[in-house]
Structure 1
Amino acid sequence: MNISDNVFGDNAQIRQGDSSEFRLDGPGSIQNNNTGSQISAVGFNASVNFHYNLGSTNKHQCLVDLRSTDPRDDKARIEQSKGYLLRSSYQWVLENAAYQQWLHTEDTQVLWIKGDPGKGKTMLLCGIIDELTTLEHSTNQQTAVLVSYFFCEAADARNNDATSLLRGLIYILADKQPSLIERIQKKHDHAGKALFEDTNAWYAVSRILTEILQDLQSKDTYLIIDALDECAPGDLPKLLNFIQASSPFRVKWIISSRNQPQIEQRIRSNQHLVTLSLEQNAEHVSQSVDEYIKLRVANLSSIADNEDLQAELRDVMRRKAHGTFLWVSLVIGELDAASSLEIQHIMKELPESLKKVYKRMIRQIEKHKPWIAKQCRLLLSTAAVAYRPLQLDELALLADIQDGDSDKLQLGVEAVEPQFITELVKLCGSFLTILNGIVYIIHQSAKEFLTGSASRILFPFGINETHHDIFWKSLQIMSDVLRRDIYGLVNPTFPVDKIQERSPDPLVGVYYSCVYWVDHLEEAEQTMKQRGDAGLSNDLWDKGIVHMFLKKKTLYWLEALSLKRNISSGVLAVAKLEQLLSVSVYV
């Protein structure tokens, strides 16, 4: 691969704030004018060099760089998507002996809440967080209290690894206790954002949190982690070891997860642990689910005036829910759009397990007209393998959704009307939900069903083929959209922290592709090689799609990432691409 005959000219520049600058010094070479680390990617005749340094003395910038997500926003979004956080649904936990022992006994440092999928663990923790947070503002407390938390989400690459988890915990602590920023700032001054993102990020972040816990010895610190089982498998031992190593400090942990042997094997050795099993408290959970059913049925507009039908529906749902909140939520999703006559018919057919509900939803999708069913399958398969929840326009572009008027390949950001894609999402049963223009899979168990039991329908040629389709489409979208000075700044040294948000933003439909195109290529390659196939290495050959993209769009791609304050993703992508290139040479 040779990108020497590029179309940029010899003096193109990209500058990110006051800390990183990229210059094309000559054919095929990108250099940085500041001191910093260097990552090279070499494949065939290509050479791309990054010098990367983001040191900063700005405390605000330190917090901005630390933030991978704000768990408080995640909590608000989760509560909105799941709906109805009822105090009566978690009140029993506050009175439970295990919780009381954890809260009031000095030796009991970790409370593990475990239960099967859909039992309401996340909403339970949301309620506990609310209760503990009230202690922060209580005037009756003799000692100060700090509460921080994080929601692991396997479907979002930004929220499913150990480093991001600790960053989220630290972010809330530092935001609530500004004096703690000093601990972070000292290290951030030397490394900048790379402190939180490079290959040593876990070690740096875990040391920072350890030092913070040392500083908080005069306070009661409560750290809550939801869905530990959704953390990347390789990161789980690190997290559990860190929790156990924190025993000398004045900190208490609550963690939740499914009933998974690998977690139990690692956590049961913790002498400061108490366990709260939802299955062993099935009566309390069932009572909470009954209250949830009562509320949701009462809000069904089509039977609002039919108390007899409401009572009959409540009785059927209570018998079939088996103490599972998610089952109730999915069934209500179908009943919401049904007439009273349809509700009477649906009641008789309601399945009694989550998996059977999911199968029913797939069958209903397949009953649509063939063209609609195909579009729904494309939406579901794309959402299921995406590395984060997608915006509506991103999903439409990556799934290659057509509006029915043309078979023509659509690449423009405005190719599909928002109303059209919104209606398609609604036709995907209750697998997908839309919040603030972002499409989420309703639950991790739903994603596992889509990529498992439903894979023959959604991925007839294998999941790797969908990854490859997204990779291919991403390069097409970026090639079509990216251009020099896409924000019209004119001056290439304009500081990125002074750039105002664009409306409309020309990068809105292409940003996911800028960050994750190499990840999808890597996944497609690795999956095929695991199956013993030759792989898709022709994509990496001279004059292949990757070669042509890098030849024409490399600086525009880096400029887009820089404008989004995420040039580090480009560094990581090049490193992954280098590995793919080096392997393909010997295939």
Structure 2
Amino acid sequence: MMEEHLHEVKRENKKQEQRYQINQARKCHQAFKTSTYEQFKDVNPDRVEGTCRWVLSHPQYLQWATSDEDNFLWISADPGCGKSVLAKSLVDNELRTTIDHTVCYFFFKDNEQQDKLTTALCALLHQLFSHQPQLVQYAISAWEKTGDNVVKEVPELWRTLLAAAMGHEAHDVTCVLDALDECRLPDRQRLIDMLGRFYAQISPSSSTTRRGRLKILVTSRPYFEVVQGFHRNARHRHLYHIAAEKENASLTSDVQLYVRQRLNDLSVSNISPQQICVVEEKLMLAHQHNFLCAFLLTESLFEQPPGTMKQLLAVLDQLPKSMEEQYERILSRCKNHRKAKEVLSLIVAARRPLSLEEIDVILSFQDNGRSCHDLDLQGCEGVLDTVRYTCGLFVRVVDGKIYLLHETAREFLLRRVRLSPNRYGTRSWKSSIGLATSHSNLALTCVTFMKMRNRPRLAPFSAFLNYAHQNWAYHVLEAWGLVRESGQGQFIQKMIGWGLDMQLVDADGRTLLHQTLNVAEINLEHVRLVLSHGGLVQSADRENMTCMHYAALRREHGVIPILIEAGFNVNARVIRGNPTGFEAASVGSKVQRNSVSKLGLTALHAAAFFGRPDNLRLLLNEGAEVNVQNETRRTALHLVLGLSLGGRRLYDIWDDAVYMVDHIWDYDDEDYVETDSQAHEARQSILHMLCDHPNIDISIKDNYGQTALHMVRYNRDGSEVHATQHLIEHGADRLAQDDDGVTPLHLAARAGDLLSLEVLVESPGDVMIEDNRGCNSLLCAARSGFDDVVQFVVDMCADSSIYLSADHLGRNALHHCFYDENDFFLHPTPELVRVLLQAGVNANHQDHDGLDTLAWYASNLFLNAEVEIMELLITHGADLNYKDQSGRNLAHLVMQCDVEFDLDVLLMLLKYGVDALSVDHDGRGILHHAAISGSVTVELLSYLSESLHLNIASLDAFGKSALDCAKETRREIAEKPWGPDIFREDRWRDTEAAFLQHGRDYRKKPR
């Protein structure tokens, strides 16, 4: 009874762990929903029937679509030629998502919501995980490590997308990225580079060894930098290109179909079929290749349809001959020029598309003064009529938000040069709107509205107040940056005269001074101007960072002296509620701004963590406390050592040139190698600077009992040996134990860092030290997976009995090389196992649960067992007759892997006499267990029935066959409230298919 109870407890624990994993997977999946990407697609019109067929039959498209390899298609076209309409149609129709094929998409647009690469990659991942939930496993690790901040890191998002889409569990995946040219420039260049590197590195065989293919389709205008970027990669056979700007005949045919459809839609009773033919011919002669032009002309043509053929021809002769002329014609009809310019200025300057409620408040505010009670709101319907009346076809309203007709309309309006009056007798609308004025007006509206008191609690006011809180500083800075340098001081004075309060904060708790430090390139003169006009703000924002903290982590080291001169405290402390202090403050964490306690994050921590030696030197010279501890009692020395450099870059969320990524996977890339080298040099400089400080205390421990030597990122390549040696030379304790009893020796051994281990170990007794779980350096080295590290530890203790050591659970080094302390199955090499056995580690040693090393290995498999490893254990005395409390022997256990079973494993066990026909206490044989795990193959079934004469249809104690068990498991997994199994969810379907195929094969054989 006791054994059955223990078995039941283990089963329940396993179920709870599965629930936890599924819940984590759901949360991870939801983290990637950072945009309304569905609306970004659906805002585009549907494709007219019959158009775009030339694309679908184009040789380049067909080769891309039908190829069995991962590949990339770039479709370029001039403005107004229907790229977004085509992309929408491909997503919804031709490439649509099916059971075996997932289409992920993102539509870029030149606005704050749609122009970031991070937003696009998150959208692709969210869609991918929605349709193939088993792939979320590829994102779990990064998400658990950085939380929702993972959505801000382009390299990690890209790595996750490639890993998931190219995983062996993945079906076919197609990613559609529309309007790449409207992605912000740095992100656009990076995506082009990443695509080029990816397709340059994939091998012809990589696609054939997986179930699915990864195909990417991108549309864009043929801008020089886009063309140049993609053509650098044109030598790769995986790149296909359709240059629509060169397909005049095909575009002409499509536009003709479109015009014909538009004329049918707009036809009225007094226009005859003959007149429609004349209109179609005239329009096609004027605008053969442009859908946008055709749309504008057909819209304007039938506002007042002429009655006779003569009148119709007269109208046609007066139609604009270019897109710019069409735009001028549309806007020339505005009855209220001032109001039209006011509305268009708002649309052009807004950081994102404005809603009808928001623009209602803005227009009313600008017309009626600065009191909420003076505002005369029109309501959504009223303001919709106003916008349509003043701007006509130049704007469109979709889902309550206002957009310009096309991106070319924005380019048309923005001021670059002033044109002379045009033929219509009024000033040209081309280049009529200056962004500086537009941003200034919008900034003034936001600032004044935020300062108003007694605002009525109306939905429009709340909507615009939210926009104002989030974007007032953006508009101030945009306007400021467009003002000539000589007039920037006057600009700030003017804004103050309008009511700008330097202490005003945005939705993130940031003042204007915070914002001047949170731009891509800091303008030192702007910083001085803000400070000279009362902008000295010591408080922290909602990220709990002061301006001094931001200045310390930036590469521009000229900011710190300016802030110090203005009176900033270099030792100001903040509490951020997370281990490093440099992730977003966690929800519900204790926030203490400018804490005067002894603990807290200072600017010195920021300079150390982000690798800014110049800033750190400035802070130390100005009296920064070198031993100050953050809320987890870590000093700057802890943080600079915790900044991993092996396989990483520095991370600066504002500087585009320097990034931290978890995997630098292209070590042949000169930029990556150079960045890695620069980061390493920066950290070494800071390490020396801190260690050489006369007041440094290297022995300080954090909340976890870890010293600076514990914080070293020990790794296999030995790149940290210099840091290790330098700390020891300055008095660091090699054998210091943290709260878990772990020493730096344990950490170096676990990481496989042989070079650092050689520096840390001085005597045999060092490697014998145990942590609180009874693990010494040999057990840690076994978990590293590197036989040379194990050999080093064994050699250090040649005269001792370290090979007999086991932890407090009775597990020896062989147990540890298969499974680590975090319950992760490891995959040691046969050579590692051989070294441990030759050192004297006992293969037959049992832990406190009665599992010897072979049983432990077989019980914890995720992938197939390795035949060579099992043979090594068997020939060194492992128990072949092992059975667990449920009566399962070794043959039962190896069947329980999560991949297709490797028959060679069973053949090896049979060779050594393991009973493959045995059943457990529930009457289940090896086939039942394989079916429950979903690892059955046709090859396995054939061998069991033909060679072992096993009855495939045999029933267990509950009257169920192996096929019944597979079906039942598949049903249970699908019906669980926490969702499907995320690890190869199709394996039970594949198992059922194997049974069916075996049955068909059996019936075909001659009797």
TM-score normalized with structure 1 length: 0.73
Q: Is the 8 A contact 2:76 2:221 kept in 1?
A: yes
Matched, 1:389 2:353: yes
2:288 to 304, 322, 335: 322
Counterparts of 1:347 and 1:481, CA distance in 2: 56
| TM-superposed deviation, 1:430 | 1.6
Q: Is the 8 A contact 2:448 2:499 kept in 1?
A: no
* Runs of 5+ consecutive residues of structure 1 not aligned to the other structure: 1-56, 138-143, 488-502, 559-568
2:32 to 47, 66, 76: 66
| TM-superposed deviation, 1:361 | 1.9
For residue 79 of structure 2, give the secondary structure of its aligned residue in structure 1.
coil
| TM-superposed deviation, 1:108 | 7.0
2:198 to 246, 250, 255: 246
The aligned runs of 1:398-477 (5 Å cut-off) are: 398-399=362-363, 407-409=368-370, 411=372, 415-427=377-389, 428-452=391-415, 462-477=434-449
Q: Is the 8 A contact 1:378 1:401 kept in 2?
A: no
Q: Cα deviations across residues 6-48 of structure 1 (Å, max 9, x unaligned)?
A: xxxxxxxxxxxxxxxxxxxxxxxxxxxxxxxxxxxxxxxxxxx
Q: Is the 8 A contact 1:66 1:196 kept in 2?
A: yes
| TM-superposed deviation, 1:220 | 2.0
- Alignment partner, residue 302 of structure 1: 268
- Alignment partner, residue 328 of structure 2: 359
| TM-superposed deviation, 1:77 | 1.8
The aligned runs of 1:150-161 (5 Å cut-off) are: 150-154=106-110, 156-161=111-116
2:41 to 65, 75, 82: 75
For residue 415 of structure 1, give the secondary structure of its aligned residue in structure 2.
coil
Matched, 1:128 2:90: yes
Higher strand share: 1
Q: Is the 8 A contact 1:375 1:424 kept in 2?
A: no
CA change 1:535–1:253 in 2 (3 A) is farther
CA change 1:304–1:297 in 2 (3 A) is farther
For residue 447 of structure 2, give the secondary structure of its aligned residue in structure 1.
helix
Counterparts of 2:333 and 2:497, CA distance in 1: 46
Counterpart residue identity of residue 398, structure 2: L
The aligned runs of 1:23-62 (5 Å cut-off) are: 61-62=27-28
Q: Is the 8 A contact 1:392 1:439 kept in 2?
A: yes
CA change 1:65–1:108 in 2 (3 A) is closer
Identity %: 21
Return 176-185 or 346-355, whichever deviates more.
176-185
For residue 123 of structure 1, give the secondary structure of its aligned residue in structure 2.
helix
Matched, 1:546 2:510: no
| TM-superposed deviation, 1:453 | 6.7
| TM-superposed deviation, 1:425 | 1.5
- Alignment partner, residue 528 of structure 2: 586
CA change 1:541–1:305 in 2 (3 A) is closer
For residue 103 of structure 2, give the secondary structure of its aligned residue in structure 1.
strand
CA change 1:340–1:171 in 2 (3 A) is farther
Counterparts of 2:454 and 2:144, CA distance in 1: 32
2:167 to 182, 206, 215: 215
Return 187-196 or 466-475, whichever deviates more.
187-196
Counterpart residue identity of residue 72, structure 2: V
1:335 to 297, 301, 307: 301
| TM-superposed deviation, 1:236 | 1.4
For residue 333 of structure 2, give the secondary structure of its aligned residue in structure 1.
helix
Matched, 1:99 2:61: yes
| TM-superposed deviation, 1:309 | 2.2
Counterparts of 2:101 and 2:327, CA distance in 1: 42
Counterparts of 2:179 and 2:445, CA distance in 1: 32
| TM-superposed deviation, 1:186 | 3.8
Counterpart residue identity of residue 547, structure 1: M
Counterpart residue identity of residue 183, structure 1: Y
Counterparts of 1:453 and 1:334, CA distance in 2: 28
1:165 to 120, 134, 146: 120
Matched, 1:203 2:155: yes
| TM-superposed deviation, 1:190 | 4.4
Q: Is the 8 A contact 1:399 1:470 kept in 2?
A: no
- Alignment partner, residue 259 of structure 1: 222
Matched, 1:380 2:332: no
For residue 302 of structure 1, give the secondary structure of its aligned residue in structure 2.
coil
Counterpart residue identity of residue 385, structure 1: A
Counterparts of 1:311 and 1:241, CA distance in 2: 48
For residue 545 of structure 1, give the secondary structure of its aligned residue in structure 2.
coil
| TM-superposed deviation, 1:193 | 3.3
Counterparts of 1:470 and 1:543, CA distance in 2: 12
Return 334-343 or 105-114, whichever deviates more.
334-343
Counterparts of 1:90 and 1:573, CA distance in 2: 49
For residue 109 of structure 2, give the secondary structure of its aligned residue in structure 1.
coil
Counterparts of 1:520 and 1:363, CA distance in 2: 29
Return 181-190 or 285-294, whichever deviates more.
181-190
| TM-superposed deviation, 1:526 | 1.0
- Alignment partner, residue 136 of structure 2: 181
Counterparts of 1:460 and 1:89, CA distance in 2: 36
Counterpart residue identity of residue 313, structure 1: V
Counterparts of 1:153 and 1:461, CA distance in 2: 20
Counterpart residue identity of residue 449, structure 2: I
Q: Is the 8 A contact 2:30 2:126 kept in 1?
A: no
Q: Is the 8 A contact 1:70 1:172 kept in 2?
A: no
Q: Is the 8 A contact 1:528 1:534 kept in 2?
A: no
Counterparts of 2:417 and 2:380, CA distance in 1: 27
Counterparts of 2:417 and 2:279, CA distance in 1: 29
- Alignment partner, residue 147 of structure 1: 103
CA change 1:482–1:97 in 2 (3 A) is farther
2:189 to 226, 237, 241: 237
1:290 to 252, 256, 259: 256
Q: Is the 8 A contact 2:90 2:96 kept in 1?
A: no
Counterparts of 1:182 and 1:165, CA distance in 2: 20
Q: Is the 8 A contact 1:303 1:340 kept in 2?
A: no
Q: Cα deviations across residues 177-198 of structure 1 (Å, max 9, x unaligned)?
A: 222334334433444433324x
Q: Is the 8 A contact 2:75 2:220 kept in 1?
A: yes
* Runs of 5+ consecutive residues of structure 2 not aligned to the other structure: 1-22, 207-212, 420-427, 530-1007
Counterpart residue identity of residue 398, structure 1: I
CA change 1:415–1:62 in 2 (3 A) is farther
Q: Cα deviations across residues 273-307 of structure 1 (Å, max 9, x unaligned)?
A: 12111132221111111111111111215356522
Counterparts of 1:582 and 1:232, CA distance in 2: 24
Counterpart residue identity of residue 306, structure 2: S
Counterpart residue identity of residue 264, structure 1: V
2:279 to 305, 313, 320: 313
Q: Is the 8 A contact 1:222 1:253 kept in 2?
A: yes
CA change 1:530–1:171 in 2 (3 A) is farther
For residue 136 of structure 1, give the secondary structure of its aligned residue in structure 2.
coil
For residue 246 of structure 1, give the secondary structure of its aligned residue in structure 2.
helix
Q: Is the 8 A contact 2:105 2:124 kept in 1?
A: yes
Counterpart residue identity of residue 491, structure 2: L
CA change 1:215–1:530 in 2 (3 A) is farther
For residue 501 of structure 2, give the secondary structure of its aligned residue in structure 1.
helix
Q: Is the 8 A contact 1:286 1:323 kept in 2?
A: yes
Return 271-280 or 67-76, whichever deviates more.
67-76
Q: Is the 8 A contact 1:538 1:544 kept in 2?
A: no
For residue 168 of structure 1, give the secondary structure of its aligned residue in structure 2.
helix
For residue 105 of structure 2, give the secondary structure of its aligned residue in structure 1.
strand
Q: Is the 8 A contact 2:103 2:173 kept in 1?
A: yes
Return 291-300 or 533-542, whichever deviates more.
533-542
Q: Is the 8 A contact 1:101 1:108 kept in 2?
A: no
